[in-house]
Amino acid sequence: MGINILGMGRYVPEQVLTNDDFTRFIETNDEWIRTRTGIVSRPMAGWEPTWYMGKQAALKAIENAGIDPKDIGLVISTTATADFHTPSMASIIQNETGAVNAGAFDLNAACTGFVYAMDTAAKFLSTDRDMKYILIVANESLSRFLDFTDRGSCILFGDGAAAAVVEYSDKLYSSVLGSEGAGGKFLYARSMQVAPEVACQPPEDFSSDYEELPLHKLHQDGKDVYKFAVQALPRSFELAAGKIGVTKDDIDWFIPHQANIRIIETAAKKLDAPMDKFIITLDHYGNTSSASIPLALSESIDKGIIKRGQKLALIGFGAGLTYGGIIIEY
């Protein structure tokens, strides 16, 4: 079993926040952000809801794939920042794109969402061979969940969407999905719908400042997430690669979750793989959660960097704490 990416599309908001812009409201500077993260600027949604960005990306992916949206059997939307608890982003996008014959659901695996969705799609397509195409839409508006007084987290994230139309293929394929739920306390945002007067008990050992946190704002223990990330990235690749006897030398491009250049550099060292095989877009997108890997993929395809026939390793990590990797041929 495997998967073929027929076409991709992306949408990022026009509004951009540079590192210097942050100096207007928090104690920070461009040099610290660049050297500690590699990020220079990030798109920020203004009026655009999450589903709108997803819809725009999806329409481009459908156009680039050259398919009739009526032939899409399933829409999977990956998001940790949905506009609604219900309906799903996927159902909204299904309607907006004319995918009238598709089922639809959202998938939340935080920043690992696209990897989870690709693997889910590969498995749907291989068990239901009547399903022609699946539309995966990764759409995120992290800015709505950021605590803009927390300089350790608010400078990291951006907003945007990317989508892929995929079909069944018997090309090279391997995957691994994982989660270390004990690390949930290191990166979380409370649900928006919980009324302040309703006691919402956190899982045991969530941070002691849980009650004081602004409702639904992102809480992050940066160092703990960092420690997890630098081992999760190489491990995800090695686990997926080991299943099919592929080594890092067989891979043309690594497309890691775009969180921090130092995390990617450390992972590259652990894998003993050259940095010039790693696609980097975090400088201009920041960390867009589940949209980060498909944004990097879509941009690199459009620039002619990633070409048909090349072997790709898509590797992610994120809140959960989740991790996962897939190896595919483009």
Instruction: Indicate if 287 belongs to the active site.
Output: yes
Contacting positions for ligand UT7 (CB under 6 A):
28, 32-33, 36-37, 111, 151-152, 155, 220, 222-223, 225-226, 229, 259-260, 287, 318
Q: Which is nearer to ligand UT7, 2 or 38 (CB)?
A: 38
Residues 157-193 as b or e (16 or more Cβ within 10 Å = b): bbbbbbbbbbbbbeeebbbbbbbeeebbbbbbbbeee
Helix/strand/coil percent split, the chain, to 5:
40, 25, 35
The amino acid occupying position 139 is: N
* Gap between the Cα atoms of 55 and 49, Å rounded: 10
Structure tokens at 201: 């008990």
Using an 8 Å Cβ cutoff, are 234 and 271 in contact? Answer: yes
Of the candidates 64, 111, 139, 219, the residue annotated as catalytic is 111
CB of 116 to ligand UT7, least distance (A): 14
CB of 262 to ligand UT7, least distance (A): 7
Q: Which is nearer to ligand UT7, 88 or 112 (CB)?
A: 112
CB of 243 to ligand UT7, least distance (A): 25
CB of 148 to ligand UT7, least distance (A): 11
Helices (H), 245-329: 261-271, 282-285, 292-302
Q: Which is nearer to ligand UT7, 13 or 158 (CB)?
A: 158
> Which 3 state secondary structure label does DSSP give 46?
coil
CB of 37 to ligand UT7, least distance (A): 5
Q: Which is nearer to ligand UT7, 28 or 95 (CB)?
A: 28
Q: Which residues contact 227 (CB under 8 A, 6 or more apart)?
A: none
Helices (H), 178-291: 222-244, 261-271, 282-285
CB of 75 to ligand UT7, least distance (A): 24
Residue whose beta carbon is closest to ligand UT7:
222
Q: Which is nearer to ligand UT7, 80 or 328 (CB)?
A: 80
Counting beta carbons within 10 angstroms of the beta carbon of residue 303, is it exposed (0 to 12), middle (13 to 18) or buried (19 or more)? exposed
CA atoms within 13 A on the CB side of 89: 29
Instruction: Report strand pairing: 72-78 vs 133-141.
Output: parallel
Instruction: Indicate if 257 belongs to the active site.
Output: yes
Q: Which is nearer to ligand UT7, 33 or 122 (CB)?
A: 33
Write out the H or E segment, with its range, that includes residue 121.
Answer: helix 113-127
* Gap between the Cα atoms of 165 and 289, Å rounded: 20
| Residues recognised as catalytic | 111, 257, 287
